[in-house]
Structures are given as structure tokens and as C-alpha cells.
Chains A and B, each alone.
Chain A
Amino acid sequence: MTDQPSLSRRGLLAGAAAAVPGAVLMQGSDANAQAQKPAELKIGITTFLSGPASVFGVPGKQAAEMMIDEINKAGGIGGVRLRAYFVDEAPGTEHLVGEFRRLVQSEGVHVMLASISSGSCLACTPLSKDLQKTTILWDCATQRIFEEGPQPFAFRSQGFATPEVLAPLLYLLKTKPDFRTMAVINQDYAWGRDSWEMWRAGMEALKPGVRVVAELFPRLGAPDYTTEITRLLAARPDVIFSGHWGGDLVTLARQAAERRLFERSLFVLPVAEASLPILGRTFPAGHIIGTRGDHWNNHPRPKDPARLKALNDAYRARFNEPVIYPVHHMVQAFNALKAAYDKALAAKGGAWPNDAELAAAFRGLTFDSPTSTITLREDGQGLEDQIVGLSTHVDSTPYAIPKDMVIFPAAMVSTPVGMKSVDWLKSLKPDILGQVPAPIAG
């Protein structure tokens, strides 16, 4: 007899099963290991390649391809050429999480760029922490990411939902403050619900007593808004807030224009920009429009006008489409990536940074976009200015563009670090309206 424990087949399997996650964790937990300069810099990019949101996802992919070609033509980053691995977000978060893991653990991707959907970003950021892999949130807007806990490996290279909602609200209160009733028509998903909650919190703090006469949340991708528009026509609100985007906004605006809803109520549309080229002159003048940032192609004071024009010209020449905001967001993500590697390489005297060193380089990073300079705060959130204006028509552009634009400084409209957006919006005081910059005429 022996007192050595016997190893049964079942025990062996259980041990192996327990060891696998450990091995996986070990694989993902070597952020501080010595890094070798790779033969190629592998970039995983999650975006919508199918479904309704591909109206943003495919331009984002195209912008990524353009940026990679441009960077590679200039010698790559630190002398290393870039290679992209694209993942479609459309099949859902379960698929996305699996692909994220596969790209990092099997393909050896060095940096992830995720995602368009807020749900996708909320699913990916815990993975960035688990796998200790730098993840640039290139387009999603949810304010929750950096408000619900520290994100050591996730960084957002653009603004977020709170400034995208607050800037149009301040523009409305500053330029057309005499409204007494309002309504909302938002798509029935996270952005639609969250943006209305934030709008309402800010509005009740800055202009209490506004009566909400209709709250409509049609499903995402609804093909028809006949009933909702009739409801709004019957309710006659002074102001209608809508976070609609893509094909949904095109459908809503077409039907609203035909049925003279734009003549009865003032629309506030924070995500209008991407749909305006498709709507052409159907979209009327005199409504408040935003672009999820400051990157209108007619930006009144771009930081680098030549670079903005070059981006517009190159993108249109290659893809035969106008530049819309996801293109700018992807360009910003690659600018952030290059700036972070340059910073990390400089800090190590030219030696290749490991994952932890690369992530450290992102914190407090400043990089240029064609329109401005963006800074990543200590929590990882990007500070991007917001431009809101009134729609107008000019002879040189076959669709509505903004006039009387207000450039809202990012810090003014962004939730301070450590606060929750809705709480912050509820605490706003009317004196914030005194800080709103004057509209730039024209």
C-alpha cells in the first residue's frame, strides 16, 4: 500500500480543466514582460460590417485601411508595418468577445480598436483588463465605461455621450430659449434611452418646468414612422430631441419633412451629420445639428486646414463617398496609436514597449486631429471639442451644413473625472450658459 494519492482519470481531467484558464490567464498577464520588436504590428479592429450600423462601420473600416496604407507608406510605426484584422460586431457581443480573445491569444494582436456599439465596448473593456491588452475605444459613446471603475488598458480617442448631448442642449438654451414643451423620438436601445435620460437631467437643471408631451422610442431599424410623426404633429411640441442616426434618421427626416413636422417644431439632432449628404436638400434649414465631435467638414477654425482638406479629398477619391464622423473617429484612433507608440518608444530610448509601457503612454496623451488637439484624461477618456450649429443651405454644397457654429470646449461639456454623468448634469447651474462661446457667424 502507498499513501501517495492516486491520480484517477477524472482527477486528471479536472486538473487539466482547471489548468487551462490559468494558462490562458498567464498568457494574457505578461504585460510587463520584455517586448521584442515585432515583424508586423497587428491591429484588431471591431466594427459593424453588416446590418444597419454598417453605415458607420464600413466607412470606419475604409478609413482604417486608408490610415494603415498611409502609415505603412511612411515606414510604419517605429519602423514596423501595420496589419489589420477586422471583426464584424453585428453578430452580437458573444461572438465579439470570442473574436477579441482569439485575436489576442491566437493571432497575437498587439492592440485592439473597439467598437461602434456601446454594448460592444462594455463587453470588450473587461477583456482588455483581463488580457492586459491596450484597447482603443474608437467610436462608441457610452459614458459608463470610465464612470464605473478604472480601465487600465482601455482608452477612448474621442468624446462621449455626455458632451454630445449637453452641447446641443446648451446651444438650444442659449440661442432659442423660449420653448415650453418638448418631445423625444429616440431609437429603443442604450444610446436612445441614455441620451434622453441625460438630456432630461440637464434640461430640468437648467430650464425647469418644460412639459414633455411625448416620449417615443420606436425600435432600432424601424422602416416607417408614420404613427410617431402623426403623434408628434398632434402633440405640437416646441422642440423635438432625437438621437436618431443612419438610415433611421433618413427615414424619420424624409417623412417629417414631407408632413411639415419641421415647420411646426424645432428639431435637435446630435448625430445628424452622417445622414445629411443622403438627405440632400430635403433636410430643412433652421434646425440644431451635431456631429459627435468637432469634425464638420466646414469647421470654421480647423487646427490644420490642409490636413482636413487632404483627408476629405483622399477619402472621396478612394471610396467615392464624403467623409462622415466615423471616418474622423478612426483617423483619431490611428493618430492616438501612433502618438502613443512614438511616446513609448522615446521613453525607452527606441526599444520596443511592452503592453504595460504602451498603456502607460496613452494616459495623458495629446495628439492632433485634422480639426483640433485631443487629450486623453487620467481616466482614459478623450477630451474632444463639440461643434453644434443651425442647419443651412449654401450653393456650394448639395446638402445641409451648419452655420452659426458654437465650438464647445471639451472640458466644459464633459463630466469631470470621478463623477457620474446624470448626477453631474443634475447639478448644473444656469451660469454655465454664460460660459457658452459666441456662435461663429456664417
Chain B
Amino acid sequence: MAEWFQDNSGLLGLALLDGLASAGLIFLVAVGLNLVFGVLRIVNVAHGSLYAIGAYAAASVGIFFASLGLPAWASLPALFIAAALVGVVLGPLIERFILRRIYGQEEVLQLLVTFALFMILEDVQKLIWGVQPVQHDVAMRYLGTFDVPFAGDVVPFTAYQLFVLPGVALVVLVGLAWFLRRTLTGRVIVAVTTDREAATAMGIDARRVFLLTFTFGAILAALGGALSSPTGAIVPGIGPQTIVLSFAVVATAGLGQTEGAALTALMIGLGRSIAVYFEPELEVVVPYIIMLAVLLVRPQGLFGTTTTRRI
């Protein structure tokens, strides 16, 4: 075994870098879904649509900035501006006019409603952006590549994937932890997550917390999409593919667990990249193998807590 590690240490090092880049993006999408579920207790299937719209919007804003003759570096803030726009516009609209009507309803109804919303948003994307791949990779090209030494040669990585994606994920993780633990609004959100009835009884305006949390979750979903847009093509169907993986992360982490989502994203990112190097056939199933293994041992998820059933 030690010999195997020694022989493959170079490849494992590359896999580690790949895993970090991949984990950053997985975390950004899953943490929003996790936050929304933790507070609103709604499994939002339309989260994937917000990711897709964030990606499309980022490409559109980037193309618009370029048409204004702005320099290439402007494509980086364009990603965050697009994500904020999508979250701030769509988040309150969805929460106020759709989700607010189904709080406390049967879970099946909640799933159906968010699924219907997801289907509608999929068609909206096609109406606005068409079906041909949309891409705008100026942000990735602007930052160039970073050469990693390997076997007497170098392997070029894009600086965007190596530094920006994990970096933003880390900032979001730390920022979210600080916000939830150190600010009044954050503590109010935690209070509602922990015990909605008690929090409401103590005068917390749960409706306002729901609106704020969902908007924040929508911004995070759109940010995941926006940050993914410079590295690839945006096509119909990217939303559903993202949401499936996000559900695996949320289930593995424990519902409502931010740090758990980060650790799970890291496990999945690393697991997938190691699989590509050494057993490519397993790459697709690695997230679900990890999920299954964790849930068999801890049905409440890595960081989840068991709740007492009230009778």
C-alpha cells in the first residue's frame, strides 16, 4: 500500500488540486440549498434553476460589459453582480408569491410546487437565451494558467479553477459561519432553524427571516452558476444535473449544516477526482457511494442531529 502511494504520489497531488477546484463549486450550490431547507423546511427543487439562471445571467452581464468596452478584469465583478441581481430579483418574488403559500403544507405538495416552478423556469431560460450553448470565458482567460510541476514536466491549471473557485467557497464558508454566529440577523436565522415555534413565540418575525434566507439561498445558487459560467458552456439542462448532486451533498452533510456541506463537497470533489485517475468507471457513482456510506452509519447525516419526535 505504501509502495502504491509512493508510485502514485504525483498523480494523487494532481487529483488533490482537481478535487479542490471541483469541491468549491459543489459547495457553493449545495450550501444555499442546505440553508433554505434548514430554515424554511422546504426541499427547493427550483434551486437548480436559480443556478442555471445565474450562469446565463453572468454570461449576459459579461458580454454586456465587454460590449461597453470595459477591460477584461471587469468580467470578474460581473459574475458577482449577475448573481446578486438574480438572487435579489427572483428570490423575493418566489418566496413571496409561491413558497409563502405552501409553508407547513404536506411535503409532497411542497415538492410538486417547487418542481412545477423548476419546469417553468427551465422554459423561461429557453425563451430568453435559446437552446444553443452560451459561453463567456473572459474571466477564466484573463487570469491565465498556473503551471504545476509533474514528472519532469508541467501540468497547466487555470488560475481561475485553482484559486478563484476554492477561494470564493472558503470566503463564503467563513463568512456564513461568522454571519450566522456573530450577527443578530444570523442568530435570528439560527434560532428559527433550531426551533421555529419557540423563536416565533419570542417575537421573531419568521416571515421576514424566511424572505431573507430564501433570497440569500437564491444568491448562493446563482453565484454557483455564475462562477461556473467562465469554465464551460451553459446549455438547457444544467439546472437538473446540478440539483441532483446538491441533494446528495445536503443529505450527506445533514440538513441545514453549513460546515457539513463544505466537508461533504470536499469529500465528493476529492473522491471524484481520485476516481478519474485510478478507476474512471466509478467517477459518476462516487458521490452516491459516499452518501450511502455516511447515511448507513449516520442516518441524520455527517453533522445532522437527531430530533425528538413530538407527540
Chain A interface (Cβ within 8 Å of chain B)?
A: 50-52, 54-55, 57-58, 188, 214-219, 221-228, 230-231, 233-234, 236, 246-248, 250-251, 254-255, 258-260, 275, 278, 282, 321
Extra 10 A-B pairs, beta carbons < 8 Å, given A226-B231, A248-B233:
A54-B235, A54-B236, A221-B235, A223-B228, A223-B232, A227-B22, A230-B157, A246-B233, A247-B233, A251-B233
Question: Which residue of chain B has its CB nearest to the CB of A185?
Answer: B280
Question: Which residue of chain B has its CB nearest to the CB of A54?
Answer: B131
Distance of A217 Cα from B122 Cα, bound (Å)? 27
User: Which residues in B have their C-beta under 8 angstroms from that of A214?
Assistant: 280
Known: A50-B237, A51-B236, A223-B241. A230 touches B155 (CB 8 A): yes
- Say whether B276 contacts A255, CB under 8 Å: no
Question: Among the listed stretches B10-18, B39-47, B78-86, B87-95, which one makes contact with chain A, having 4 or more residues with CB under 8 Å of it?
Answer: B10-18
User: Which residues in A have their C-beta under 8 angstroms from that of B103?
Assistant: none
Question: Which residue of chain A has its CB nearest to the CB of B276?
Answer: A227
User: Which residues in B have their C-beta under 8 angstroms from that of A260?
Assistant: 145, 156
B159 → A minimal CB distance (Å): 10
* B252 CB within 8 Å of chain A: no
User: Which residues in A have their C-beta under 8 angstroms from that of B276?
Assistant: 216, 218, 227-228, 231
- Say whether A255 contacts B237, CB under 8 Å: no
* B106 CB within 8 Å of chain A: no
Question: Among the listed stretches B108-116, B134-142, B290-298, which one makes contact with chain A, having 4 or more residues with CB under 8 Å of it?
Answer: B134-142
Which of chain B's residues 126-154 have a Cβ closer than 8 Å to chain A?
A: 126, 130-133, 135, 137, 140-141, 145, 150-151, 153
Q: Which of B126, B228, B236 has most chain A Cβ within 10 Å?
A: B236
Which of chain B's residues 227-252 have a Cβ closer than 8 Å to chain A?
A: 228, 231-238, 241-242
Distance of A358 Cα from B137 Cα, bound (Å)? 51
Distance of A25 Cα from B122 Cα, bound (Å)? 38
Known: A215-B280, A227-B276. A247 touches B133 (CB 8 A): yes
User: Which residues in B have their C-beta under 8 angstroms from that of A226?
Assistant: 18, 21-22, 157, 161, 231, 273
Interface string of B1-25 (1 = CB under 8 A from A): 0000000001100110111011001
Distance of A55 Cα from B156 Cα, bound (Å)? 31
What are 5 residue pairs bridging A and B, where the CB atoms are less than 8 Å apart in the complex?
A: A50-B122, A216-B276, A218-B276, A254-B140, A278-B135
A246 → B minimal CB distance (Å): 6
Distance of A227 Cα from B279 Cα, bound (Å)? 13
* B195 CB within 8 Å of chain A: no
- Say whether B18 contacts A246, CB under 8 Å: no
- Say whether A259 contacts B156, CB under 8 Å: yes
User: Which residues in A have their C-beta under 8 angstroms from that of B281?
Assistant: 217
User: Which residues in A have their C-beta under 8 angstroms from that of B19?
Assistant: 227
Q: Is the interface of B mostly helix, strand, loop or mixed?
A: helix
A-B contact count (CB 8 A): 135
* B277 CB within 8 Å of chain A: yes
Question: Which residue of chain A has its CB nearest to the CB of B123?
Answer: A50
* B259 CB within 8 Å of chain A: no
User: Which residues in A have their C-beta under 8 angstroms from that of B231?
Assistant: 223-224, 226, 251, 254-255
- Say whether A218 contacts B283, CB under 8 Å: yes
Which of chain B's residues 271-311 have a Cβ closer than 8 Å to chain A?
A: 272-273, 276-277, 280-281, 283-284
* B60 CB within 8 Å of chain A: no
B280 → A minimal CB distance (Å): 5
Question: Which residue of chain A has its CB nearest to the CB of B134?
Answer: A278
- Say whether B132 contacts A251, CB under 8 Å: no
Question: Which residue of chain A has its CB nearest to the CB of B225?
Answer: A223
Distance of A188 Cα from B284 Cα, bound (Å)? 9
Known: A227-B15, A259-B157. A247 touches B234 (CB 8 A): yes
User: Which residues in B have their C-beta under 8 angstroms from that of A258?
Assistant: 137, 140-141, 145, 158
User: Which residues in B have their C-beta under 8 angstroms from that of A227?
Assistant: 15, 18-19, 22, 272-273, 276-277
B17 → A minimal CB distance (Å): 7
User: Which residues in A have their C-beta under 8 angstroms from that of B145?
Assistant: 258-260
Question: Which residue of chain A has its CB nearest to the CB of B51?
Answer: A223
Interface string of B22-35 (1 = CB under 8 A from A): 10010000000000
Distance of A221 Cα from B48 Cα, bound (Å)? 14
Known: A217-B280, A258-B137, A278-B132. A223 touches B126 (CB 8 A): no
- Say whether A234 contacts B11, CB under 8 Å: yes
A383 → B minimal CB distance (Å): 30
User: Which residues in B have their C-beta under 8 angstroms from that of A233?
Assistant: 155-156
A231 → B minimal CB distance (Å): 6
Distance of A206 Cα from B124 Cα, bound (Å)? 50
User: Which residues in B have their C-beta under 8 angstroms from that of A275?
Assistant: 133
Distance of A144 Cα from B10 Cα, bound (Å)? 42
- Say whether A55 contacts B158, CB under 8 Å: no
Question: Which residue of chain B has its CB nearest to the CB of A236?
Answer: B153
- Say whether B235 contacts A55, CB under 8 Å: yes
Question: Which residue of chain A has its CB nearest to the CB of B143?
Answer: A258
Known: A50-B236, A231-B276. A250 touches B25 (CB 8 A): no
User: Which residues in B have their C-beta under 8 angstroms from that of A230?
Assistant: 14-15, 17-18, 155, 157, 273
A322 → B minimal CB distance (Å): 10
- Say whether B17 contacts A255, CB under 8 Å: no
Distance of A188 Cα from B280 Cα, bound (Å)? 11
- Say whether B155 contacts A224, CB under 8 Å: no
Distance of A353 Cα from B163 Cα, bound (Å)? 67
Q: Contacting A54 at CB < 8 Å: which of B18, B126, B280?
A: B126
User: Which residues in A have their C-beta under 8 angstroms from that of B126?
Assistant: 50, 54
- Say whether B272 contacts A254, CB under 8 Å: no
Distance of A232 Cα from B283 Cα, bound (Å)? 16
Distance of A228 Cα from B22 Cα, bound (Å)? 12
Q: Contacting B133 at CB < 8 Å: which of A55, A58, A282?
A: A55
User: Which residues in B have their C-beta under 8 angstroms from that of A228?
Assistant: 276
User: Which residues in B have their C-beta under 8 angstroms from that of A188?
Assistant: 284
A236 → B minimal CB distance (Å): 8
- Say whether B237 contacts A51, CB under 8 Å: yes
User: Which residues in A have their C-beta under 8 angstroms from that of B236?
Assistant: 50-52, 54-55
A156 → B minimal CB distance (Å): 24
Distance of A300 Cα from B191 Cα, bound (Å)? 71
User: Which residues in A have their C-beta under 8 angstroms from that of B140?
Assistant: 254, 258
- Say whether B133 contacts A278, CB under 8 Å: yes
Distance of A278 Cα from B234 Cα, bound (Å)? 11
Q: Which of A51, A58, A255, A258 has most chain B Cβ within 10 Å?
A: A258
